[in-house]
Amino acid sequence: MYDYHVHSMFSGDCKYTMEEMVLAAIDKNIKSLSFTDHIDYDYGSGNYSSEINFVFNTEDYMKEFKKIKNNYKNQIEILSGVELGMQPHLVDKIHELLPLDIFDFILMSVHTVKRQDLHEGEFFENKSAIKSYEEYYEDLYTCLDKFDNFDIVGHLNLIDRYSKYLNESVKFEDYKEIISEVLKKIISKGKGIEINTSGIRYGMESFLPNLDILKLYKSLGGEIITFGSDSHKPEDIGFAYNDVIKLLKELDFKYLTIFKNRKKQFINI
Ligand SMILES: [Zn+2]
Ligand SMILES: [Zn+2]
């Protein structure tokens, strides 16, 4: 098993040490794991962002990471990674803010749109449901267009998790065009997506992305997919891994992707 979306105490919303997460991963027979701790500059102005610090100290992180990596090197391979919260206005300054080259793996996620967070619903206020979708995917597209220094897009359709804030439901057909452009951009850049299994734990009916998006990705020629449990607790590491592999096979994907030193490796499934 390979899990490329795992948090530790270096994320403001996770209280477990790297060691606790690694021990759980070893217990579950994970071969290779990437930490993807949050760095989100400009998370918005809601309560969530004032209570939680979404930026960690990279020197402390690397020091702890190297210690844990070395201590458990005979049992598991671990990678230093980051879940980089991206917005169009951050693209130009990100390399000044963060030494991205220190990481083995970079997951780019959109958690905040127009400096308004999705989590507490600020972004959805006074906006039609379809407008929310358009703005979310347009911003993601702009980030993809302007920014190259990442490997995988995290939970591509995160907006679906916040349907409770929408005043009406949105059909896939209504935003299929923009999501196609997003997927084409990912493919043309040689980047990929993850299947993030946290949706199920948050009460959604499917993984992120859902079946419609995975089929569209496949039909457009998309091949690069990582597995990510998005664990914030040891027990969630590797969550629903076998179900994901089964789904990938059903959809005729041939392999899962892992990374080493920012380079792709394909694992036949
Ligand atoms: Zn995330
Ligand atoms: Zn995450």
Domains of the chain and CATH, by start: 2-268 (3.20.20.140)
Q: Is 157:150 a contact under the CB 8 Å cutoff?
A: no
Ligand nearest the Cα of residue 232 is 2
> Distance between CA atoms of 25 and 234, rounded to whole angstroms?
7
| 39 CA → ligand 2 middle, Å | 10
Residue 146 carries which DSSP code?
H
The closest ligand to the CA of 108 turns out to be 1
Q: Which ligand is nearest to the CA of 85?
A: 1
Q: Percent of the chain at pLDDT above 90? A: 87
User: What are 157-169's pLDDT values in tens digits?
Assistant: 999 999 889 989 8
Q: How confident is the model at residue 87 (pLDDT cuts 50, 70, 90)?
A: very high
pLDDT at 44: 76
pLDDT at 228: 98
Please give the distance, rounded to the nearest whole angstrom, from the Cα atom of residue 84 to the centre of ligand 2: 9
pLDDT band at 52 (very low <50, low <70, confident <90, very high): confident
In tens, the pLDDT along 118-132 reads 988 989 999 999 999
- 21: tokens are 């997460």
Tens digits of per-residue pLDDT, 137-187?
999 999 999 999 999 999 999 999 998 899 898 999 999 999 999 999 999
pLDDT band at 47 (very low <50, low <70, confident <90, very high): confident
Ligand 1 centre and the CA of 111: distance in Å? 6
Question: Whose CA is closest to 139, among 7, 42, 231, 13?
Answer: 42
The answer, yes or no, to whether the previous bond of 209 is cis (omega within 30 of 0) is yes
Phi-psi region of 115 (alpha: psi -120 to 50; beta: other; left: phi over 0): left
